[in-house]
Homo-oligomer: A and B are copies of this chain.
């Protein structure tokens, strides 16, 4: 074993490039030397014990380095990051090097035991955990301060010496994946397991959710179609639709938790222990002692952060909300103007004009959402959160509140202030369809065009008929480093969240929304897949066990939709006609039904178990085993005495 370790450590023929490090132009020799030494150095000396090679191109060395690792190193790294893999007895267990023989498909010469995505994740983890020992600064850059325990790579990134770190695509695998994913027109599930192997759990889970959500919308769409076809206007039918809708939305969100548990159990992330969270790269503060770790690191007073949140961010968000409402009022003026114009000169043109304000407003909403997104990112970053998770939660909260108001305020206004159901239906349709078209353009047509352009440019540059497969490593690296960076699943989930709002909030006045949502999501799957495979750099695989705060966001939306739908139904003339004598009785009945539905919702959420029974059993079995092992240990110790 020890021989094989040193063997793999030195023999270059085994070097498989996994991750690319791009340093800034003109980085000092001394820095490069120090960095490579630290990366290659033995663990015992505080190094990362990885392999590194400069990329040699026709133009010579370009400050681009390829990082790899020996097979043994990767296996030990898999233990460090706590990967969970399948054993020979079909159970999922945390991988340890000493128990490696018990894992499925493990063989000392099987270098595919770890997927490439996992290897790249391990290397990223090891690089990020390469920490300063007693260096006071990065050699050659006195302004880039270091202190014991500071992550070197993060300091290099924040001081701009390191331009980027990204994992390499595997051309062959990618081709296979993209063929089975979107390459052929077929009806069927996405290859989620393959996506997970290539892109990691976070992205696979997004596509899993997108697919699940689309399937879940189909019953709603199917029931919605006859309302359009037969122009049903009976409100008893709408009541039926809305009731079904409400219960259905609860069921699908609960069932998703179960499906998510099944997926992440199979992928091992359900069992993965949470790693201790290090401060996020952008976090800054004066050097102090972290009370939890006892290590020297920047500290930033929590009171200062609270002040920034409550005295700056909160007022800013409120101002933005006010501005959004102001824009909404302008939209209603425009709407009125269009209506007047149509009345004055009735023509085809003027009736088309009726749709113009809504379309303009939809475009303005999209633009405002995108601008606000940047402001929210800036503010949240300025709030200086120590942890990435806390940063994400604050960002998501800010963005969700604004987007919700921005997208739905006008609909609420039309529904509950103007009481104009016809306008509501028209606005809802225009907003939904416009935003879908805009999103499809930004996510599908634009990428497609970018890809075309990029193919053409590449072809020109190569001056040859080489296909992608035949590219040299240097060519591949140079091509990929120019590609855009995928910024995470945030925007994708947000889009689905708003779509869910359009579908469920006012479902009883516009059942056709679900149909549009389904159609949109089918193309969305393809365009997102294309985007992942062709447009962006390969992202690092990130293990995750669930969709996190989005579950809560969707559940909140479904609670709000119970309220809105009950009110809408209560306001309908047909229901009104059922209570000819007393409007009081009507309102009381509606309020009673609403509370009943909410109670049923909460009871359903409580009664439906979050994990299927067999997953529960498997988890219980693992827990039992670990408790038994602990007991054995104690017993062994007692017997010793």
A-to-B contact residues, CB < 8 Å: 1-2, 5, 43-44, 49, 72, 76, 79-80, 97-98, 273, 275-276, 291-293, 563, 583-584, 587-588, 591, 595, 617, 620-621, 623-624, 627-628, 631, 634-635, 637-639, 641
Contact = CB atoms under 8 A, between A and B. Distances in A.
Leading 10 A-B pairs by shortest Cβ distance: A587-B587, A292-B620, A292-B621, A276-B627, A44-B639, A583-B584, A43-B638, A276-B624, A76-B638, A591-B591
Nearest to A621: B292
B637 A80 contact: no
A641 B100 CA distance: 15
Given A291-B617, A587-B587, A617-B292, A97 B5 contact: no
A1 B638 CA distance: 12
Contact of A621 (B291, B627, B638): B291
A637 B97 contact: yes
B584 A623 contact: no
A44 B641 CA distance: 11
A641 B5 contact: yes
Given A584-B583, A584-B584, A624-B292, A637 B595 contact: no
A43 B635 CA distance: 8
A contact face: mostly helix, strand, loop, or mixed: helix
B80 A639 contact: no
A293 B641 contact: no
19 contacts: A1-B641, A2-B641, A5-B641, A43-B635, A43-B638, A44-B639, A76-B638, A80-B631, A80-B634, A97-B637, A273-B627, A275-B627, A276-B628, A292-B620, A292-B621, A293-B624, A563-B595, A583-B583, A584-B587
Contacts of A623: 276
A317 to B, nearest CB: 15
A584 B586 CA distance: 9
Contacts of A273: 627
Contacts of A624: 276, 292-293
A76 B2 CA distance: 39
Residue of A292, A620, A623 most packed against chain B (CB within 10 A): A292
A94 to B, nearest CB: 10
B76 A634 contact: yes
A627 to B, nearest CB: 5
A216 to B, nearest CB: 25
Contacts of A1: 641
A341 to B, nearest CB: 35
Given A79-B634, A292-B624, 8 more contacts: A80-B634, A276-B624, A276-B627, A276-B628, A292-B621, A293-B624, A584-B584, A587-B588
